[in-house]
Amino acid sequence: MNIGEIARRAGVSRSTVSYALSGKRPVSDETRRKIQDVIDELGYRPNASARALANGRTSTIGLVFPPAGNHYTGMQLDFIGSVVEAAAAHDYDVLLSPSGVDSDRSFQRLLGERRVDGAILMEIRLADDRVDHLAELDFPAVAIGRTAHPESGWWVGLDHTALAAACVHHLADLGHRRVAFVNRPEQLLRAGYESAHRGLDGFTKAAAERGLTVRTYCCGDDAASGQACLERILHDDPATTALVTLNEAALGGLYRGLAQAGRHVPRDFSVTGVVAGRWAETVTPQLTAADVPAEEMGHLAVDLLIERLDHPGAPPRHHLLAPPISLRASTGPVGGTPSA
């Protein structure tokens, strides 16, 4: 079924049907009702390409992120799912583009061919070519995270600085004096990933404020790397009694390394960090953590993007979230001297 058949049955021209569907030109109420009756009778639904031509919109948003490793983390999967769900509520589809910097071919096709009405950018870097490129084009976009200069942008961010600091203060209040920090992989830190840098900054400053002895580590996004990292921590300083992590993908390996070293959590060793809530609850004992509200962030990002699409001249807006630490079972006061 197409516009031509609707026009024939309604006794009007194809252009009149097109105008009635798009609203680009006035059509009399009587003619509009006649066309609508035919549409209702036939169950006609215009295809996406036709709608795009009619109203200049694709009803699709792009979700863009650079490859961050060999697999998606749980937090990334939660966020992707929430964006798809929120977009569907606005009658938008989502085009997933595992693209990177502004020279990337996939990213350029996304923009040059106008495959999407706007974009949501994940895995933001402090100096991010994608954010700069979209700003120069005045292309509607919302970032998940903040660049080093976020004042003029549209974004939804997690305050990794404050959250890492809150984890440190929680451990210090329990009497821990020797604490390790387990960050994301080294290549992401070198690339300027915002969460890795701001988390490290918050940890370092809070530890200095509390007078703690600390060591910091980069760790791959997988359990085997987590176990190897934990072995390095205990080798470098066997008196370490706690750690803070931003790396949820390595969490299972960190726990396994502690078990193999004979360190009971939380009697001998406390673990905390910044991870998605449902992943904090998959380990035993459950992780005391600042729970990343991935679902809320996805919905907020889509809402901001739709607002930007509907109101092109609106001033930039953003949301900076800092959820409280959820106390579970992985942290406790310092016990006896750990065995070597």
**Contact present, 221 and 73 (Cβ < 8 Å):** yes
Distance of alpha carbon 66 from alpha carbon 267, whole angstroms: 40
| Look-up of token digits 């807006």 | 317
Q: Is 60 exceeded by the pLDDT of residue 100?
A: no
Per-residue pLDDT, 98: 74
> Domain 60-158+294-321 in CATH: superfamily?
Response regulator (3.40.50.2300)
pLDDT tens string 37-55: 888 888 766 655 555 545 5
Q: Does the domain at residues 160-291 carry the CATH identifier 3.40.50.2300?
A: yes
Cis preceding linkage at 316, omega within 30: no
Q: Is 60 exceeded by the pLDDT of residue 1?
A: no
Q: State the average pLDDT for the chain.
A: 89
pLDDT band at residue 115 using 50, 70 and 90 as cut-offs: confident
pLDDT tens string 133-173: 899 989 999 999 999 999 989 999 999 999 999 999 999 99
Ranges of CATH 3.40.50.2300 domains, the chain: 60-158+294-321, 160-291
pLDDT tens string 189-231: 999 999 999 999 999 999 999 999 999 999 999 999 999 999 9
198 Rama sector, left if φ>0, alpha if ψ -120 to 50, beta otherwise: alpha
Cite the DSSP H helix spans in the chain: 3-10, 14-22, 29-42, 48-55, 74-89, 105-112, 129-137, 160-173, 186-190, 194-210, 223-236, 251-260, 277-280, 294-310
Q: Is pLDDT larger for residue 316 or for residue 113?
A: 316
3-class DSSP state for residue 69? Answer: coil
pTM: 0.82
265 Rama sector, left if φ>0, alpha if ψ -120 to 50, beta otherwise: beta
**φ, ψ for residue 221 (rounded to 5)?**
-85, 60
Per-residue pLDDT, 67: 59
Provide CB contacts within 8 A for 113, sequence distance 6+: none
Q: Is pLDDT larger for residue 237 or for residue 50?
A: 237
Per-residue pLDDT, 230: 98
Distance of alpha carbon 330 from alpha carbon 46, whole angstroms: 55
What CATH number belongs to 3-49?
1.10.260.40
Ranges of CATH 1.10.260.40 domains, the chain: 3-49
What percentage of the chain exceeds 90 in pLDDT?
A: 63
Residue 271's H or E segment, with its range, is strand 270-276
